[in-house]
Every structure is written in structure tokens, then in C-alpha cells.
Amino acid sequence: MTIPEVSVAMNVDNEESFLLAASPEARGLGRRERDRERRDRASGEAALEVFTSEQRGLVDRAAGEAEKEVGRYYCIPPRGWQHLPYDLLTQEDQGARPLPDPVLAETARVQGLSPARKRPYDFFRIQLNDRSILHAASRERLNGELHSFLVYILTHEMVHLVRLCAILRREDESGLARDVEEARVQRIARQILAGARYPAIGPILAAFTLSTR
């Protein structure tokens, strides 16, 4: 889903942005595994920089499916997403900003200005980090299941979006630590997709989410 008006000025509120990281350290790997991953990354992944047109098509498809999965969990009707407006960007889209290598995606509250509106308006921006996603897919041998990986990433980010819009506005949640929120979103995303019938979703959840056991 995108905002119909063309935004002419943007202000990203960094106090309400969340990063989904895929670094070896974030996933709790030992030193030997981290060293091996760094060697593999340096040796043969230079070409994995941005999504191809086919892969961008997978992004669009995965976004629609993630909306359905998250909407089912939160009981959001199909038209309910009109009240949760967001932009979805990849690295080559206008307005995309550089993200650190370990980061797979970022969700942020954004303020836009448009000639069609008299006042600034808030919406959300989900930005994917093409390079990190492609490297992570290669490292975990998910190249044939990139679509499932994108469904997981976008499900995770849309849970952030819903919570930023509805829950974090409450006073009792205003001081929520980012690491606490990230762990909670990981658990919710895992719960949403645990029974989903996407190829390789089990290994993806095992590699990129916290166990609920």
C-alpha cells in the first residue's frame, strides 16, 4: 500500500523506528560460526546488491500476503489497511536511505507534506535493505525460497506498524524499550507464521526469530 499523494518533504521520527537485524551476533552464533560467515560474505557475494525486477515482484506479492497474515491475527478487515497507510521501499526507490549491513528492514513513522494537504500528515515507511536480505538468504541457503523469507520480513515489519499505530500511542507503552519491543514483535511474527504453509518457513523462523519455548 502506498500513499496516493506525492510527498514533497519528509521527516523520519527516529524515536519510533525499529530495525530488523540479521547479524550473526544478533542471532547468537558462536565465534567460529561468525568467522565463517564473514569469510563467506567476503568471498563470493559481491553481486548481491539490489533486487532484480523479478525479485521486486516477489516483494509486492509478499507484501499482500503479509497484510493478510497480520490482518487475520489482529482482525483487520481488508479495507482496514486504508487506516494504516504506509510506503514500502526497496534500496533503489526514491526516498530510500542507507541502512547498516546487518539490518534487513526498518519501519518508521514518517511525516509528509503535500500540496494536496494543508497540514503535515503521518504515515509509516517500511524500507527493505536489498543487500542484507540477499546476503542473508544466500547465507541461510534460502535463494530458492526468497518469497517465503520476504513474507517473514514483511510480516515482522507490519506487526511493528500495527503496534506503532495502535499500541505505542498509549501512555503506558510510551517508554517501552526497543529491545523489549523487538523481542515481542519477533514472538508475534513467529506465532502468526508458525502454522503458515510457506516453503521453508520453519527453518526461516528457527534462524531469525526467538524460540517461544
Residue boundaries of the structural domains of the chain: 9-208
Residue 70 C-alpha cell reads as: 497480520
| Res. 171: pLDDT tops 50 | no
Q: Look at residue 164 in the predicted model and tell me its pLDDT.
A: 87
DSSP of 81-113: GGGS-EEEE-TTSTT-----TTEEEEEEEEEEE
Please give the Cα distance from 24 to 193 (Å, whole number).
Answer: 22
pLDDT for 3-28, tens place per residue?
Answer: 223 232 334 444 456 777 764 444 44
pLDDT for 94-106, tens place per residue?
Answer: 989 999 988 999 9
Q: Look at residue 6 in the predicted model and tell me its pLDDT.
A: 29
Q: Look at residue 213 in the predicted model and tell me its pLDDT.
A: 46
Answer whether 49's CB lies under 8 Å from 135's CB. Answer: no
Answer whether 88's CB lies under 8 Å from 1's CB. Answer: yes
pLDDT for 111-152, tens place per residue?
Answer: 777 767 677 777 899 999 999 999 999 999 997 899 999 999
- Give percent of the chain with pLDDT exceeding 90: 49
| Res. 184: pLDDT tops 50 | yes
b or e along 84-101 (b: 16 or more beta carbons within 10 Å of the residue's beta carbon)? bbbbbbbbeeeebeebee
Report CA 89 to chain centroid distance, whole Å: 10
Q: Look at residue 52 in the predicted model and tell me its pLDDT.
A: 95
Query: Which is higher by pLDDT, 56 or 84?
Result: 56
Burial class (CB in 10 A: 0-12, 13-18, 19+), 2: exposed
| Res. 42: pLDDT tops 70 | no
Q: Look at residue 40 in the predicted model and tell me its pLDDT.
A: 53
Q: Look at residue 82 in the predicted model and tell me its pLDDT.
A: 86
The mean pLDDT of the chain is 80
Please give the Cα distance from 99 to 18 (Å, whole number).
Answer: 12
Q: Look at residue 30 in the predicted model and tell me its pLDDT.
A: 55
Q: Which amino acid is it at 95? A: G
Q: Look at residue 120 in the predicted model and tell me its pLDDT.
A: 77
**Short-list 94, 142, 87, 141, CA closest to 109:** 87
Q: Look at residue 36 in the predicted model and tell me its pLDDT.
A: 56
